[in-house]
Amino acid sequence: MNLVIGVIGGGRVLVQEREKLRVGERGEEELAPELRRLFEARDRAGEPGRIGNGSSSGEGVFDFRYGPFTGGYPEAGIFHLHTYGEKILSVEVDISCKHRGIEASMAGLELSDCARASETVAGNFGFAHSLAFCRAAEAALALEPGRRAERLRLVGLELERIYNHLLVKARLAQAAAQKVLAAHVEALFEEALRINKLFSGSRLLSGSNRVGGVSAELMGVDDGRLRDLAARVETLARHFGSIYTTSLSSRNYMDRLHGIAVAGAQLAVARGLTGPSLRAAGVDADLRIAEPLLAGFVPITKDEGDSMARMEVRAEEILASCEIVRGQVEALLGGADGDAADLRGDGVRADGGAAESRGAGARATAASKAEGLGAAESATGTVAWWIETSGGRVVRAYASTPSLFGFQVFADALRGHIFTDFPFALDSFGLSFADAAR
Amino acid sequence: MRWWPLFGISRRLTEKRDYESAAEVRPLPGLFRRSLFIYAVDAGNSNALNIEVAALRAPQYNIHRLGIFFTDTPRHADLLLVLGQPTSGTIGALMETLSQIPQPFGIIHIREPLAAGNRFVDFDPPQLLARIEGRPEAPELLGILLKVRKGGAR
């Protein structure tokens, strides 16, 4: 399985092979026409343009424009639903409203400022974005963060996954008018944000990642806070498990999700889809398989590829992520990763030397021109950053975001459904306009 | 298996606490003192503010007991909550939304000072009650909304 998830210019592409990401030499001309059109739309994200499967014509067919501000969807974006009244014949998504030109604005800025800026691509995937960016910078500078920093990063990444998945679950429950379920999941969603604050000082885990490690506050998190974190995550998992099991007894709820917006493995792979939506189509691709500190990690998959399968994958991932957090906290408490006081958490030892820099040392590398690729498995799929750096500043940056591919697959999967199915299809993909438009 | 509508009905999730904010909010005497209907729009924020607004739906806050409601249309709104600095892509729709809200109404604008990008545009509407610099968390956001209501007390 080769997923093309970025075109960085010069005939080079970003390719994901199950759990590994690399810069490929394959020419752009080899891309499938649908994927090439998608990358062209990405590059024109600031102009009103459309991702999807074109317009439709016929007797009484019109373009039902939904957005950019609606009561039904919290983000600014436009859906063009081509329909004759009830059935949706084709779908186009305009992401231009949320384009902020983030990558272009990074040129000439220091790496540390850009790491913070990368969080604002999508605030709810901010930890994954800053982690991928920092990993790209670390690859360029030949820096290796210590094991403790890596472990803390894994905890942050899973905490981000938990609250995002809970939000998707809550939105699906609201769409299905499952008020009891929605209220309980929303309560857990709020609790997850509070757990984030306990862990990092920020409800959305902002400012946690630094080039070379994590923030000093995160690096210095004490054992008491970690124990509290583990206990609250365990309670959250217990409550969620109970709610989820009970919710599956509601046939009404299941019926709203079953068979909706099917995105099978062939379509998903061809369009570059990653994350839980891809795993719901039976493909066990997940960058976490290659995480050295997550030995034995097995991705959760389902076969059906519909909204129900995507909901199930996310629900089971919430429980799995809680387990990962508890395991990592246990290791942190065990002190297996060395003394936290040795490191400031930003890749620099207290004595000023670079932390575990590879070979020739990071400082010499920082002054010269270099490029690096970094990635992280966000709640919705692969987030990747490729950067070119010189003298500690960014020359060029490229972000591959999972929502771009997600909107294309959503558009393809929604064809032929009726308006009532729209929220179940959209929310089950867990997409973000901010993430897609950058 | 418990009957689903009764699931967890004995759990008390609503918190009894004060929600405060240090933000300065221009008062609107005589208006919105009993209830406040809010239309929230994402003008170009990173989605972080949308997440905090979504968190306000949580039973811990139970905002309806405080007379605060989110509406799905500007026609039902007393307050427009603008999330993020508008971009060149949203400013047109934002000004159209402003023209659809019945008078009198107020605007709270929350900016994300750390937001990166080069496509943001100015936004300086006359009915502004407060401009917040930063990313208020849900409890502080609720404190700001309660200040609007308090400002309405005669």
Q: What pLDDT does residue A350 have? A: 37
Query: Which pair of structure tokens corresponds to residue B137?
Result: 């968390």
* Coil vs helix vs strand at B94: helix
The domain locations on chain A are 53-100+404-437, 107-143+361-400, 144-262+306-356
- CATH architecture, domain defined by A53-100+404-437: 2-Layer Sandwich (3.30)
Q: Identify the pLDDT of residue B1.
A: 57
Q: Is the dihedral of CA A77, A81, A87, A89 positive or negative?
A: negative
CB pairs under 8 A between A and B: 153
Q: For A388, left (φ over 0), alpha (ψ -120 to 50), or beta? A: beta
Contact assignment for A180 to B97 by CB distance below 8 Å: no
Kindly state the average pLDDT of the residues B123-141: 92
- State residue A13's pLDDT score: 87
Of B50, B93, B94, the CB nearest to A74: B50
Task: Please list the alpha-helical segments (H only) found in A201-306.
Answer: 216-219, 223-247, 251-257, 265-270, 276-279
CA A269 to mean position of chain CA atoms: 17
What's the confidence (pLDDT) of residue A230? 96
pLDDT of residue A15: 86
Residue B122: in which H helix or E strand, if any? none
Closest to A347 (Cα-Cα) out of A100, A111, A53: A111
- Collapse the DSSP code of A66 into the 3-class scheme (helix H, G, I; strand E, B; otherwise coil) and give the result: strand
The pLDDT confidence band at residue B37, using thresholds 50, 70 and 90, is very high
pLDDT in tens, A100-146: 899 999 999 999 999 999 999 999 999 999 999 999 999 999 999 99
User: So what's the pLDDT on residue A365?
Assistant: 54
User: Alpha-carbon dihedral of residues A173, A179, A181, A187, nearest 10 degrees?
Assistant: 100
Q: Flag the least confident range among A7-21, A114-128, A171-185, A335-349.
A: A335-349
CATH number at residue B92: 3.40.50.12280
Which residue range is the domain that position B93 belongs to?
30-151
Rounded CA separation A45/A94 (Å) = 9
Residues 95 to 154 of A: which have CB under 8 A from any B CB? 96-102, 104-106, 116-124, 126
Between residues A98 and A71, the one the model is more confident about? A98
Tell me whether residues A68 and B90 touch, CB distance under 8 A: yes
Task: Report pLDDT digits (tens) over A271-320.
Answer: 889 999 999 999 999 999 999 999 889 999 999 999 999 999 999 999 99
- CA atoms of A178 and A161, how far apart (whole Å): 23
The larger pLDDT score, comparing residue A200 to residue A340, is at A200
pLDDT digits (tens, 9 = 90+) for A294-303: 988 999 999 9
Chain B's closest residue to A253, CA to CA, is B4
Q: What percent of chain A has pLDDT over 90?
A: 68
Structure tokens at A273: 């889809």
DSSP, collapsed to helix, strand or coil, labels residue B31 as coil
**Same CATH fold assignment for domains A53-100+404-437 and A144-262+306-356:** no
Residue B118 falls within a domain, yes or no?
yes
CATH fold of A144-262+306-356: Cytochrome-c3 Hydrogenase; chain B (1.10.645)
Cα separation values, B37 from A216, A402, B66, Å: 42, 35, 11
Name the residue facing A99 among B4, B5, B87 (closest C-beta): B87
- Pick the more confident residue, A220 or A191: A191
- Going by their DSSP bridges, the two strands A51-52 and A88-94 should be labelled as antiparallel
What's the structural domain count of chain B? 1
For residue A220, give every residue at least 6 positions away whose Cβ sits within 8 Å of its Cβ, in sequence order, or none: A340, A345
Return the exposure string of A27-45: e unless at least 16 CB atoms fall within 10 Å of the residue's CB, then b.
eeeebeeebebbbebbeeb
CA distance B115 to B133: 11
Residue with tokens 């975001």: A401
Q: Would the CB atoms of A126 and B46 count as touching at under 8 Å? A: yes
Range from A134-148, A219-233, A265-279, A345-359 carrying the lowest mean pLDDT: A345-359
Query: Does the beta carbon of A200 lie under 8 angstroms from any beta carbon of chain B?
Result: no
pLDDT of residue B153: 56
Average pLDDT over chain A reads: 88
User: What is the model's pTM?
Assistant: 0.93
